[in-house]
């Protein structure tokens, strides 16, 4: 497993991390045994970065992480969590000093740690990026020792660019994958220039970039791939990267023809992201041990050829960009 520097935090972390959304909820049923098996396999494979949030299973994900890390002992990986989405309604006025501190204190309890490594504002309303008072509260939490660093998880490229104006923002988390290539045009370069880490989420477009799904694939009722295809519960871009399912499946068949040898599409798709040196860490999710092991393999995969990279860019421009490029 290769490592990269997590921006101005100075932390060296695995270039492939563990996305802990699936072990929390809204991905269908994941047993406690499978959840812990997925995380243990990721750590065994050399992953040293874990990304979670307080709303993943209403704290289930954070608590599982704490339990596994306590059972393992030894050096603790870098754990990032998020706050804000527990607000109901999720509106800018809810990002008060009290609420932010309450959310952080709850995550500290769930993760059983005095100081959180990284706390990210969890896709807040766009208005928050124009509210410096919120970032001042995060600054104070660093001063008080509750958190070591903070960042933002964004939906839109423009939100990421605005967040870069705040000097203590250490990271930007965003969707970046074969189906969402716009961030590479400007945002990733600007983040690198300011030494801000880039955390790439939804790297497999909710699993469609594994190449294992078909038009007949059934998803559980409590899986966001069933109930959020049109953005019914949260941003549409979080489900299949915002690409209509039939369009995504058609594009996947074009990608399949580009796979070298017996390489799996999942590792191929992750390798594509790693080709951009401005990405600090990728956080694919997994629901079991096997998926974690497959994700880890991408770090050892050979670089993609120039012809392959060009073919994927052309595919994006012709088939995917009309659906997503100007939306996010």
Q: What is the pLDDT of residue 29?
A: 86
Q: Give the whole-angstrom CA distance, residue 33 versus residue 30.
A: 8
Give the angle subtended at the CA of 195 by the CAs of 312 and 317, to the nearest 5°: 15
Instruction: Tell me the pLDDT band of 25, cut-offs 50, 70 and 90.
Output: confident
- pTM for this predicted structure: 0.96
Query: Domains in the chain, ordered, with CATH?
Result: 3-323 (3.20.20.100)
Compute CA distances 74 → 43, 51, 70, 156, 206, whole Å. 12, 19, 9, 38, 32
* Contact assessment for residue 12 and residue 45, using Cβ atoms and an 8 Å cutoff: no
* Contact assessment for residue 122 and residue 99, using Cβ atoms and an 8 Å cutoff: no
268-277 pLDDT, tens per residue? Answer: 999 999 999 9
Q: Give the whole-angstrom CA distance, residue 176 versus residue 79.
A: 20
When the pLDDT of each residue in the chain is averaged and rounded to a whole number, the result is 97
Q: What is the pLDDT of residue 207?
A: 95
Q: What is the pLDDT of residue 144?
A: 98
Instruction: Tell me the pLDDT band of 26, cut-offs 50, 70 and 90.
Output: confident
234-252 pLDDT, tens per residue? Answer: 999 999 999 999 999 999 9
Instruction: Tell me the pLDDT band of 294, cut-offs 50, 70 and 90.
Output: very high
| pLDDT(27) > 90 | no
| pLDDT(89) > 90 | yes
Q: Give the whole-angstrom CA distance, residue 122 versus residue 86.
A: 10
Q: What is the pLDDT of residue 69?
A: 98
3-state secondary structure of 309: helix
96-144 pLDDT, tens per residue? Answer: 999 999 999 999 999 999 999 999 999 999 999 999 999 999 999 999 9
* Contact assessment for residue 217 and residue 171, using Cβ atoms and an 8 Å cutoff: no
């Amino acid at each position: 497993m290769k490592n990269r520097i997590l921006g101005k935090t100075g932390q060296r972390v695995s270039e492939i991390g563990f996305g802990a959304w699936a072990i929390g909820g809204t991905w269908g049923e994941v047993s406690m045994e499978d959840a812990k098996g997925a995380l243990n396999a990721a750590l065994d494979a050399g992953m040293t970065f874990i990304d979670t949030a307080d709303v993943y299973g209403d704290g289930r994900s954070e608590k599982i992480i704490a339990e596994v890390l306590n059972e393992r002992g030894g050096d603790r990986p870098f754990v990032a969590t998020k706050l804000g989405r527990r607000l109901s309604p999720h509106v800018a006025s809810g990002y008060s000093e009290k609420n932010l501190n309450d959310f952080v204190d709850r995550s500290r309890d769930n993760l059983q740690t005095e100081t959180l490594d990284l706390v990210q504002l969890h896709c807040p309303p766009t208005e928050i990026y124009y509210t410096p008072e919120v970032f001042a509260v995060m600054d104070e939490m660093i001063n008080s020792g509750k958190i070591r660093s903070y960042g933002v998880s964004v939906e839109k490229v423009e939100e990421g660019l605005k967040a870069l104006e705040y000097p203590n923002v250490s990271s930007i988390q965003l969707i970046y994958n074969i189906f969402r290539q716009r961030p590479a045009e400007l945002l990733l370069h600007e983040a690198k220039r300011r030494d801000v880490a880039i955390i790439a989420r939804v790297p497999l477009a909710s699993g469609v970039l594994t190449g294992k799904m078909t038009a007949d694939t059934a998803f559980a009722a409590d899986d966001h791939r069933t109930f959020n295809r049109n953005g019914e519960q949260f941003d549409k871009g979080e489900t299949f990267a915002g690409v209509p399912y039939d369009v995504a499946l058609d594009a996947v068949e074009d990608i399949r023809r580009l796979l070298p040898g017996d390489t799996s599409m999942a590792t191929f798709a992750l390798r594509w992201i790693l080709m951009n040196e401005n990405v600090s860490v990728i956080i694919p999710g997994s629901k079991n041990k096997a998926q974690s092991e497959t994700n880890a393999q991408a770090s050892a995969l050979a670089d993609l050829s120039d012809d392959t990279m060009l073919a994927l860019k052309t595919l994006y421009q012709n088939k995917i960009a009309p659906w997503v490029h100007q939306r996010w």
